[in-house]
Amino acid sequence: MSKRVTIDPITRIEGHLRVDVEVDGGKVKKAWASGQMWRGVENILIGRDPRDAWAITQRICGVCTTVHAFASVRAVENALQLEIPVNAQYIRNMIMLAHAIHDHIVHFYHLSALDWVDVVSALKADPKKAASLAQSLSNWNNNSEAEFKKVQEKLKGFVGTGQLGIFTNGYWGHPAMKLSPEVNLLATVHYLQALEVQRYANKIVAILGSKSPHIQNVAVGGVANPLSVDSQSVLTVERLLAVKEWIDKLDDFIKNVYLIDVAAIGAFYADWTRYGRGITDYLSVPDIPLDGKGTQFALPGGYIEGGKLESHKPIVTFGDKYFVDGVSEAIKHSWYDYAGGNDVSLHPYKGETKPNYTDFQDNGKYSWLKSPTFYGKPMQVGPLSRVLNMLAAGHEPTKKYATAALDLVSSLAGTKVGLDAMHSTIGRHAARAVGCAVQSDELKNQWNLLLANMGKGDLKTYNKPTFPKGEQMGVGFHEAPRGVLSHWVVIDSGKIKNYQCVVPTTWNAAPRNEKDQSGAYEACLLDNPVADPEKPLEVLRTVHSFDPCLACAVHVVDQENNPVVTVKAA
Amino acid sequence: MAVVVLGIGNILLTDEGVGVRAIEALEQDYVLPAGVNVIDGGTCAMEMLEQLENLDALIVVDCVRHGQPPGTPVLLKGEDVPVFFKTKLSPHQVGLCDVLASLRFTERAPKHTAIIGIQPESLALGMDLTPTVAARLPELLAMTVAELRSLGFDVRRRS
């Protein structure tokens, strides 16, 4: 007999996501992903000055502030065919990479590791054994027995007083938790170290972006950072040297802790390489432009069909026609109406944002997210898509870190684990760590490029935009931490006439499209195991592997003590 | 003494953004002494961790549903503060409460926390506050300034 399980909202994510599954014989047989908040920023933007759009779009969500700012200015620059100074690219690139690194570290350690790591079990660990295990895996200089003991003592105090605080909402003692107490302690130690390390990524964003958490240095035409080799008030070589120090600290943690931990935890959960495959049509865009126009990129992107790397088709420039022509959005199962009816799929330049809420209808409308498709097909976007496309494009650093990660998993699991295992729930975590190592290398590279260019005497960071009469259209895309982000703008005589944001989580968490095909979350949940419908940890594992970000962020606080999370099993 | 006045909320959703609007007005209308750092937190979380470490006091300005008519301000201190953070009505799960829980775990939590809130009238899409809430903004500012003065700071209105 099938059981319906509703998880509303999914916790430890940004925004409000509801997931419904029908469970039969311990497996998911049917799934619905539903965005529960309306993101209507598009309607706020109409009629405004295109130069102001970035500051508004960065308020869409608390996690993705910078990414929306950059996608927005890229869209306007694309519409104006405006080239920006190469220094501006380097500075933007460094902010993007530092932000992505921050996001990935926080996602793994602070948001999703608790699906796999049983913090309470870490109390039973032998700290000496745990430390020597950690030392056998990595040269990280903070894996001492004393450090492990200290963390365990602290944890005892917390658990003893019932103040789990940051660790609440975990499914402690769940039968699907498989790590030994020692590995649980190791992960908990690194959880706390990650809290310390993530600050360096933030400092980079704050220094280069002039302010944190909301950066202030973005401008259509470049960045507002005056560069200098001597003055005190601007971005000086001295400040850039501090940035370099933080870059190196992050790099040490990513290569010697994050990448290792993901492989080690992954090796214990080898069965999870069989779940969460879902959609294997992968879309990513190239990013980290190396010239003012965006015709050369450090990190390649493109499309892979059916998981076959040899099918890779590259996307090569900003405004690439292959990308622009492929994207459209349907609303048959979304709480919107299109003037042309329910069964059409609209290109973002022609996009409409007219709400029509109907309540949750299993076979009708059930989500505030639209259903984006690429040449008519739903896609998976995000770290896995990014890494597979970079591998397919022959990107050497990606090959290096992917091979290292898979080799470590293979040796720990005692069996050969190949690339095919990446098309899975645990594979998405591995891909995120591999991608993060690549981003860390590239962050160093961008720093070197900026310093070398300043050394040549080029201090330019801004080209003033001019808005001609008549209509222009542009797209700004960005390979954001969660995948392909695109902003689409139509400008009429200097004012915004239409604006659409097609965000990564919309691709992945999309409801069924106009042809009733599921989005990636829904597809990846099919056949996912569920041992106990009252504690659907396994569903959370697959959903969290995408790092959901629902981009809406209402957070009014209620003084009355309402239960916020409900799991309904009927 | 290190104190942060933190305005939080989403400025795209009318009264949801009142915390941010309040601290913007605070910086515009008052001269704040050294030691008082004003942060526009928006809807961010972990990004603020470092700026909120080892504070003598944290003053949070936010929109708070406390069951009173729209526009009614409220000051939460002492025992009421944990209640505020325990009840995440918020769909924004990785919010300020998690940041503060992390700070407690690393023993860097603020010594005192006060919440200055106001009951929203609308959370509809839009960048302006409702007239009901906008009219009470000066009271919210006065409460914030009073809180800073009670901590011993000399806060003066710009002339």
> Nearest to residue A235, comparing CAs of A64, A464, A463, A460?
A460
Q: What are the φ/ψ torsions at residue A279 (nearest 5 degrees)? A: -85, 125
Lookup result for tokens 């002339």: B159
- Tell me which of A46-60, A225-239, A273-287, B97-111 is least confident: A225-239
Is a pLDDT exceeding 80 seen at residue A555?
no
| Residue pair B125/B12 in contact by the 8 Å Cβ criterion | yes
Residue type, A342: N
User: For residues A124 and A137, what is the distance between their CA atoms, to the nearest angstrom?
Assistant: 21
Instruction: Decide: A510 and A379 in contact? Cβ < 8 Å.
Output: no
* Spatial distance between the Cα atoms of A158 and A143, rounded to a whole number of angstroms: 22
- The helix or strand, by DSSP H or E, that contains position A446, with its residue range, turns out to be helix A425-455
Q: What is the pLDDT of residues A324-369, one digit of tens each?
A: 999 999 999 999 999 999 999 999 999 888 888 898 999 999 998 8
Q: Looking at residue B64, what is its pLDDT?
A: 84
* Chain B contact set for A555 (CB, 8 A): 8-10, 16, 43, 89-92, 95
Question: Does the beta-carbon distance from B43 to A13 stay under 8 Å?
Answer: no
Distance between CA atoms of residues A41 and B127, nearest Å = 10
* pLDDT the model gives residue A163: 59
pLDDT single digits (tens) A491-516: 999 999 999 999 898 999 999 999 99
Closest CB to B125 among A40, A192, A550: A40
DSSP A221: T
pLDDT > 90: what percent of chain A?
74
- Mean pLDDT (chain A) is 90
Give the pLDDT score at A15.
61
Q: Are A284 and A486 in contact (CB under 8 A)?
A: no
A559–B83 C-beta distance less than 8 A = yes
Residue A563 has pLDDT above 60, yes or no: no
Helix (H, G, I), strand (E, B) or coil at A54: helix
The reported pLDDT for the residue numbered B86 is 59
Interface test with B, best of A11, A196, A556 (most B CBs within 10 A): A556
Helices (H), A283-392: 321-326, 383-392
CB within 8 Å of chain B, chain A residues 125-184: 154, 158, 163, 165-166
Write down all domains in chain A, each with its CATH number in brackets: 3-168+175-569 (1.10.645.10)
- From the number of C-beta atoms within 10 Å of its C-beta (0-12, 13-18, 19+), residue A493 rates as exposed
pLDDT confidence of residue A559 = 36
Q: Which DSSP symbol is given to A480? A: E
**Residue B85 has what pLDDT?**
66
The shortest C-alpha distance from B45 to chain A (Å) reads 7
Helices within A456-536 (DSSP H only): 504-509, 520-525
- What was the pLDDT predicted at B87? 54
Decide if pLDDT at A66 tops 70: yes
Q: What pLDDT, in 10s, does the model give residues A381-440?
A: 999 999 999 999 999 999 999 999 999 999 999 999 999 999 999 999 999 999 999 999
User: Confidence band (pLDDT; 50, 70, 90) for A518?
Assistant: very high
Span A78-108, pLDDT tens digits: 999 999 999 999 999 999 999 999 999 998 9
Q: Residue A556 pLDDT > 50, yes or no?
A: no
- For chain B, which ranges sit under pLDDT 70? 83-95
DSSP state of A549: B
CB pairs A-B closer than 8 Å = 158
Distance from CA of A568 to the nearest CA of B (A): 18
How far is the CA of A205 from the CAs of A88, A102, A198, A215, in angstroms?
A: 14, 10, 11, 8
- Distance CA(A72)–CA(A52), nearest Å, equals 9
Distance separating alpha carbons of residues A135 and A131, to the nearest angstrom: 6
Residues A264-309: tens digit of each pLDDT: 999 999 899 999 999 999 999 999 999 999 999 999 999 999 999 9
pLDDT at B10: 85
ipTM of the complex: 0.86
User: Where does the pLDDT of residue A533 fall: very low under 50, low under 70, confident under 90, or very high at 90 and above?
Assistant: confident
Is A282 in contact with A384 (CB distance < 8 Å)?
A: yes
User: Residue A550 pLDDT > 70, yes or no?
Assistant: no
3-state secondary structure of A146: helix
Per DSSP bridges, beta strands A297-299 and A336-337 are unpaired
The domain ranges of chain B are 3-151
Q: Which residues contact A347 (CB under 8 A, 6 or more apart)?
A: A327, A328
Q: Which of A206, A196, A198, A296 is nearest to A243 (CA)?
A: A206
Tell me the per-residue pLDDT of B82-103, one tens digit each, with 9 for 90 and over.
766 655 443 343 467 778 878 8
**pLDDT band at residue A112 using 50, 70 and 90 as cut-offs:** confident
Residue B3 distance to chain A (closest CA, Å) = 17
Determine phi and psi for A17, rounding to 5 degrees: -120, 135
Determine the Cα–Cα distance for residues A554 and A557; give it in Å rounded to an integer.
9
SS3 percent helix, strand, coil of chain A, rounded to 5, is 45, 20, 40
Overall fold of domain B3-151:
Rossmann fold (3.40.50)
What is the model's pLDDT at position A564?
A: 35
What's the gap between Cα A219 and its chain centre? Answer: 24
Rounded distance, CA A236 to CA A544, Å? 40
Chain A residue whose CA is closest to B106: A192
Contact with chain B for residue A102, Cβ under 8 A: yes
Residue-level pLDDT at A114: 84
| Euclidean distance between CA atoms B44 and B56, whole angstroms | 21
DSSP string, A235-267: B-HHHHHHHHHHHHHHHHHIIIIIHHHHHHHHH
| DSSP-assigned states of every residue in A90-127 | HHHHHHHHHHHHHHHHHIIIIIIGGGT--TGGGGGS-H
Of residues A237 and B142, the one with the higher pLDDT is: B142
User: If contacts are CB pairs under 8 Å, which of residues 13-32 in chain A contact chain B?
Assistant: 13-16
B8: Cβ contacts below 8 Å, ≥ 6 apart = A555, B19, B20, B41, B42, B43, B60, B61, B62, B96
Cis? peptide before A504, omega within 30° of 0: no
Q: Which of residues 538-567 of A touch B (CB under 8 A)?
A: 550, 552-562, 564
Beta bridge partners of A222: A219, A462
* DSSP-derived secondary structure for A502-520: E-HHHHHH----TT----H
DSSP state of B21: H
Confidence of residue A164 (pLDDT cuts 50, 70, 90): low
Distances (CA, A) of A347 to A47, A219, A344, A475, A517: 20, 27, 10, 12, 18
Chain B residues in contact with A205 (beta carbon < 8 A): 47
CA-nearest of A224, A220, A166 to A195 is: A166
**Chain A residues closer than 8 Å to B87 by CB:** 557-562, 564
C-alpha A56/C-alpha A271 separation (Å) is 44
Q: Distances from the Cα of A338 to the Cαs of A130, A138, A332, B119, B137, in angstroms? A: 58, 55, 9, 35, 39
pTM score, whole prediction: 0.92
Name the token pair of A539.
Answer: 């569903």
The three-point CA angle A76-A478-A372 to 5° equals 95
CA proximity to A77, closest of A65, A61, A88: A88
